[in-house]
Structure 1
Amino acid sequence: MNKIFLLIVAFLLVLPRTQAQQSQENRILIEEYLRQSENQKKTGLIMLGAGAGSVLLGTVLFGTAWNSESSFAGGASVFFFIAGSISTLVSVPILVSSASNGRKAAKLGVGTTQLMAPSPSGFSPKTYPSWIISIPLNSQKQ
């Protein structure tokens, strides 16, 4: 029982030193990259969906104009098809930029941490690679 108690006390003494700490400016930069990534992803998906819908609408209008020989439906179909194609093509670089910002934020979260490891001569600092993860438990969408 005494051994278990001593192990728990030793663990609790070493625990605060093993937790990774980030500088405030690094954390702000990570949050900014994540916010940009989320906004770009949302914009890219909206443009992709609207573009694909416009291409589909233009195709349907073109099929209708082909059968009825309506000049209005033919002109509208070309407009919707071209606008949808442009919107779909523009959404691709936005989605790529979103993924790039997400990767930048992930790279900033990888670093090294010093761990005070017990050794025969006492506690000695050792550096280990670490991946810094922060989970906002009380975040609110603004």
Structure 2
Amino acid sequence: MHKLLFLLAFFLVVSPIVKAQNQENKILIEEYLRQSENQRKTGLIMLGAGLGSVVVGTILFGTGWSDGSDVAVGSGAILFTAGSISTLVSIPILISSASVARKGAKLSMGTSNISSVQSSGFSSRAYPVLSFSIPFNSQNP
């Protein structure tokens, strides 16, 4: 019985010291990760569509050139140009996505304090920590 009371008292004393990540940082980290994921998807879609347009435009231009069709040559040139622009625009978007993801990762890394019992009383020490959360409910809003 004494051991149970001692353990209960120990956990009541230690529980305020061991804190979870504060809510503001958690929300900010989730926002950075959501923004990074959206930018990454947008960049990859623009890259894929741009490369596809470049390939189709090149083929259309080549076949139109050999057949002497001005419409196919013009359409191929327009598709090639639009695809090239889309491909070039996707590069900064992908770089920005990686930058935002790094910001979120920096917020989840840091130092944390732990208190330990010494002969002279409680002693606080800092140690590096990497914080992450695992959502247990599978419902996405």
Specify the TM-score bucket, using the shorter chain as the normaliser. Answer: 0.7 to 0.9
Compute the displacement of 1:33 (Å).
0.6
**2:39 paired with 1:40:** yes
Decide whether aligned partners of structure 1 residues 107 and 20 sit closer, same or farther in structure 2, where only a CA change above 3 A counts: farther
Please give the secondary structure, in 2, of the residue aligned with 1:117: strand
Decide whether aligned partners of structure 1 residues 19 and 139 sit closer, same or farther in structure 2, where only a CA change above 3 A counts: farther
Instruction: Give the unaligned 5+ runs of structure 2.
Output: none
Compute the displacement of 1:20 (Å).
5.1
Q: Where in structure 2 are the equivalents of 1:1-142 lying within 5 Å?
A: 13=11, 16=15, 21-142=20-141
CA distances 1:32-80 after superposition (whole Å, capped 9, x unpaired): 1111000000000000000000000001101111221111100000000
Matches of 1:72 and 1:122 in 2, distance apart? Answer: 86
Instruction: Give the unaligned 5+ runs of structure 1.
Output: none
Matches of 2:49 and 2:132 in 1, distance apart? Answer: 35
Amino acid at match of 2:30: E
RMSD between aligned residues: 2.4
Decide whether aligned partners of structure 1 residues 139 and 33 sit closer, same or farther in structure 2, where only a CA change above 3 A counts: farther
Amino acid at match of 1:67: S
RCO greater where, 1 or 2, for CA within 8 Å and sep 6 or more? Answer: 1
Paired positions, count: 135
Moved more, 51-60 or 66-75: 66-75
Moved more, 123-132 or 34-43: 123-132
Decide whether aligned partners of structure 1 residues 20 and 65 sit closer, same or farther in structure 2, where only a CA change above 3 A counts: farther
Matches of 2:89 and 2:28 in 1, distance apart? Answer: 27
Identity of aligned residues (%): 58
